[in-house]
Amino acid sequence: MRQSQLFTKTRREAPADEQSKNAQLLIRAGYIHKEMAGVYAFLPLGLRVFNNIVAVIRDEMNKAAGQEITMTGLQDPAVWQATGRWDDEVVDVWFKTALKNGSPLGLGFTHEEPITRMMKDHINSYKDLPQMVYQFQTKFRNEVRAKSGVMRTREFVMKDLYSFAKSQEEHDQLYNTMATAYENVFARVGLGDRTFKTFASGGVFSKYSHEYQTVTDAGEDIIYVNREKGIAINEEVYTDEVLADLGVTKNDLTQEKASEVGNIFSLGTRFSDALGLSFKDEAGDEHPVIMGSYGIGPARLMGVVTESLSDENGLVWPEEIAPFSVHLVALNLEDSEVRDWADGLYDNLTTAGVEVLYDDREVRAGEKFADSDLIGIPYRVVVSKKVKDEGLLEVVTRATGEVRQLTEEELFADFGVSRNA
């Protein structure tokens, strides 16, 4: 992508109506556009990051034997009435609408009910189990407050996976598999060292559920962290009994503000009982299916990465989810030889498979460097008349500020690609 052709522009000042750091930076850097409170559009740079996060999550779900589907956003009230969750007094975040004939419809805020009803067509015998299916699906939640940028919105994509098992032991195996997959996701997006498996209320089906909480000043939750064990306890279940269960004392824990980036929890047979999802065992006896639910919001994860890893100059993207690997910044473009060299380097890098944002704009060097810091691509490669005369490219690592002088051959080798690809 040539930056001169990118329709989005950076801003020097943060929007006055945005309180959250993530929204301020993502809007300033040209990643998102605010439609209204709690509703954001993703612009080219932002969509690339969002899609990269989705790709990481999808990869880990597939490795864990999840099968991807897509369900509908429009919801039949009948399936929700069967579990009691159509009532606004039970679920207060519904967006509801109606057909032309007046028949009511809902806009899905989660999908336990419809997935359970759907699986009745596919699960009949113990031989059909276990199963894990997931989707990336737009959810709608009528939040009272939406002041956390992309971390809490009224319209958002969620990855929700549902597991189906014939026994508690089988369910526990699936649950642990998903816990590992989630930990892999958070490590790959750059949050592994500050994200903790957090014990929370398990409701009526298990003693605990588990949230994944990332320590950040922008956090909405309070957790108590044991870094030696890599676990935490949500404030809502911070009791002597829970401490004893986990084998920790208050002296082992530090209080932190944190933001939830994912959750996994057991559903037991609540939904399978209500909607008639059952299987026959080897003897022909019928049993309800045991279910679990596992959620991650890619945009929320993007917001937490922004809150956690950015610095005073702008965004700092981990390599696996960055919009591009290299920000090629060309100076002295009035010199035709420099321009030809920069154009050739851009063509060679992209041909070799390196994703490059090429700043070929005719603006001041200071503006280019400030924009490069704000946009936050992992590596900045500077081309200028001085660099050309010396035969060495200046390569800056965004996360650390490290500056290296490399030949073209060394640059390509650094990215593990051939210059003549």
3 state SS of 393: strand
| 153 and 295 both lie in a single domain | yes
Calculate the alpha carbon distances from 9 to 149, 307, 369, 372 in Å.
19, 21, 14, 12
Give the residue carrying structure tokens 């276990």: 130
152-181 mean pLDDT:
96
**Residue 315: inside a domain:** no
Among the candidates 309, 341, 375, a domain finishes at: 309
Structure tokens at 366: 């200071």
| Whether residue 31 has pLDDT greater than 90 | yes
36 forms beta bridges with 39
Residue 36 has pLDDT above 60, yes or no: yes
pTM, two decimal places? 0.95
- pLDDT-derived band at 113 (thresholds 50, 70, 90) equals very high
Q: CA-to-CA distance for 325 and 378, rounded, in angstroms?
A: 6
Do 333 and 297 have their domain in common? no
Residues 186 and 330 placed together within one structural domain of the fold: no
* 200 found inside a domain: yes
The verdict on 232 and 296 lying in the same domain is yes
> Is there a domain that residue 421 lies in?
no
pLDDT digits (tens, 9 = 90+) for 329-384: 999 989 999 999 999 999 999 999 999 999 999 999 999 999 999 999 999 999 99
Number of domains in the chain: 2
Instruction: Determine, yes or no, domain membership for 321.
Output: no
Q: Is residue 319 part of a domain?
A: no
Which CATH number do you get for residue 290? 3.30.930.10
Cα 29 to Cα 11: distance, rounded to the nearest angstrom:
7
Angstrom distance (rounded) from CA 338 to CA 344? 10
Q: Which of 257, 275, 309 is the last residue of a domain?
A: 309
Same domain for 332 and 277, yes or no, is no
Q: How far apart are CA 65 and CA 62, in angstroms?
A: 5
User: In this structure, are 35 and 65 located in the same domain?
Assistant: yes
Q: What is the pLDDT of residues 46-101, one digit of tens each?
A: 999 999 999 999 999 999 999 999 999 999 999 999 999 999 999 999 999 999 99
Q: Do 335 and 305 fall within a single domain?
A: no
Q: In the predicted model, is pLDDT for residue 420 greater than 70?
A: no
Find the helix packing angle between 298-309 and 44-63, rounded to 10°: 110
DSSP letter at 13? Answer: S
CA gap 326, 319 in Å, rounded: 10
Range of the domain at 263: 3-309
In this structure, is residue 381 part of a structural domain? yes
| Whether residues 248 and 128 fall in one domain | yes
| Residue at which a domain ends, from 243, 274, 309 | 309
Q: Does the residue 318 lie in any domain?
A: no
Element at 388 (helix H, strand E): helix 385-390
Query: From CA 309, how far away is CA 400, in angstroms rounded?
Result: 11
Q: What angle do CA 136, 141, 146 make, to 5 degrees?
A: 110
How open is the CA angle 50-56-61, to the nearest 5 degrees?
Answer: 125
Q: Taking the CA of residue 10 as centre, how many other CA atoms within 13 Å lie in the half-sphere pointing to its CB?
A: 19
The one-letter amino acid at 249? T
Q: What is the mean pLDDT of the chain?
A: 94
pLDDT tens digits for 212-269?
Answer: 999 999 898 999 999 999 999 999 999 999 999 999 999 999 999 999 999 999 999 9
pLDDT at 421: 52
Mean pLDDT of 171-199: 97
Together in a domain, 71 and 104: yes
Residues 34 and 102 in one domain: yes
Q: Are residues 297 and 375 in the same domain?
A: no
Residues 188 and 235 in one domain: yes
Looking at the domain assignment, is residue 278 inside a domain? yes
